[in-house]
Amino acid sequence: MAIAYQSHPEIADTLAMKRRGLTLALLTFTYFFSYMDRQILAILLERIKADLVLTDTQLGLLSGLVFAIFYATLGIPVARLADRTNRRNIIAASLTVWSAMTALCGLAQNFTQLMLFRIGVGIGEAGSSPPSHSIIADLYPPEKRASAMAVYSLGVVLGAGFGTLIGGVVAHSYGWRIAMMTVGLPGIVLAILVRLFMVEPRRGLSDAARAAEATPMPSVGQGFASMWASAPARHLVVGVTLTSMIGYALTGWGPSYMQRSLGVSMLDISRYIALPGALFGAVSALAGGKIADMLAKRHGLHVQAWVVLAMKGLSLPFALAFYLIDAPAIAIGSYFVSLIFANSYLGPSFALIQHLAPLQIRAMWAAITLLVINLIGLGLGPTMVGWLSDLLKPGFGEDSLRYALVIIALMTPWALFHYWRAGVLLKRAEDAVR
């Protein structure tokens, strides 16, 4: 492909645009496997806890901080590489690594071994999202980017849902170890398909008006500085980080909460809750992207931040009802309603950040965003819930997990303030150039 760009750039650009639907599909499936391999742990926590004799704090570390430290920090050097070299090849290699490590989790005999394999999953997954964000931004123009990012974000909700579905059903019949291997090994096949059929687009392909921005590659420090200098980007990163922390707390501990406090079995969660939850989440992600793009055409890109503000605000009371209502049917019904709005933030948030990013360091900006999201959101979210659950257990018993999750959910208004502020700043910038 690199030779084609040098000798026949028009042909290469035409091929990249012709195959952009296929490329987006492959990126979405890769993201799907990423979240399936990452979140399968949630439905297996109670089995792993009993088998390896672990505390909630240890389970929280496995779900959050242990994974997130390596996943987030390695994203920066990977993004640096992705801004210089072939992004498709990085994604294919990364997918191979984390899929193999997920399968190896099934061989762990103690906390230390499982921790090391989870670190391996984090190392592999570090090479997926930054180059994926960069490729999508190159293939889709600003007016279609939120929708494209929303399609890509289906990997989050569907991957988490199918990880719960497959993990619970397989673990019920064959044990948690076989469940890990079942979701891990197929990713290696997908990595081959990515390497063979995904297109590596020219950087800035869908941003012809910004082609003049192309400059020598900035350093990592300059990448951080450029993002910090953008006030809208700062607020977007804080907003999406807090929102992700709340979401990771739910996805990491939701199945355990349903088993402990609502009395729903692992198999019933897998059969009757995981797939509908994934579908509701998928509708939310797609609708959020479509609504954001539609309103942005009429009123400007700043409205996309306020779409997230409105959707997440609508989701909060239903999320709290899920945690606080004892009747399983009503609680789970509230959970489904909350999901209709909950995942709407994914497409608009990442699309706005990529819109603000300089062309030459889009992968770097994506990696910086994911560094903060994953160190704080993924790293602290599930870990804090496990710690709070152990802390509250003397007073609340098995319901300690319930109130730990409520505490995290009540941080939502903080996140909403930052989305509101990002929208204000983006609108000011738009008004200034009119």
**How do residues 233-253 score in pLDDT, each as one tens digit?**
999 999 999 999 999 888 889
DSSP H helices in 129-141: 129-139
Structure confidence at residue 129 (pLDDT): 85
Residue of 267, 425, 423, 275 whose CA lies nearest to 349: 423
Query: What does the block give as tokens for 330?
Result: 């009503």
Q: Answer yes or no: is pLDDT of 1 > 50.
A: no
Say which residue, 224 or 273, is predicted with more confidence.
Answer: 273
Q: Answer yes or no: is pLDDT of 366 > 80.
A: no
Query: What does the block give as tokens for 166?
Result: 């497959």
Q: Answer yes or no: is pLDDT of 3 > 50.
A: no
Cβ-contact 227, 238 below 8 angstroms = no
Structure confidence at residue 388 (pLDDT): 95
Structure confidence at residue 2 (pLDDT): 42
How confident is residue 195, by pLDDT bands cut at 50, 70 and 90?
A: very high
Instruction: Indicate the average pLDDT of the chain.
Output: 88
Structure confidence at residue 410 (pLDDT): 96
Cβ-contact 82, 132 below 8 angstroms = no
Amino acid residing at 137: A
Mean pLDDT of 286-290: 86
**Distance, CA of 81 to CA of 93 (rounded, Å):** 13
**Distance, CA of 30 to CA of 36 (rounded, Å):** 10
Share of the chain above pLDDT 90, in %: 50
Q: Give the CA distances from residue 57 to residues 50, 53, 60, 107, 386, in Å, rounded to whole numbers and listed in that order.
A: 14, 12, 5, 22, 5
How confident is residue 9, by pLDDT bands cut at 50, 70 and 90?
A: low
Query: What does the block give as tokens for 162?
Result: 């199918």
Q: Please name the residue that has the structure tokens 């600003």.
A: 142
Mean pLDDT of 190-204: 88
Structure confidence at residue 238 (pLDDT): 94
Query: What does the block give as tokens for 432?
Result: 């200034």
- Domain at 9-198+219-432, CATH from 1.20.1250.20, 3.30.413.10, 3.10.310.30, 3.40.30.10: 1.20.1250.20
Question: Where are the chain's structural domains?
Answer: 9-198+219-432
Task: Please count the other Cβ atoms lying within 10 Å of the Cβ belonging to residue 327.
Answer: 10
Q: Answer yes or no: is pLDDT of 170 > 80.
A: yes
Structure confidence at residue 306 (pLDDT): 94
Residues 34-44: tens digit of each pLDDT: 989 988 988 89
Model-wide pTM > 0.85? no
Cβ-contact 233, 361 below 8 angstroms = no
How confident is residue 218, by pLDDT bands cut at 50, 70 and 90?
A: low
How confident is residue 63, by pLDDT bands cut at 50, 70 and 90?
A: confident
Q: How many residues does the chain have?
A: 434
Mean pLDDT of 408-421: 96
Cβ-contact 87, 366 below 8 angstroms = no
Mean pLDDT of 383-412: 94
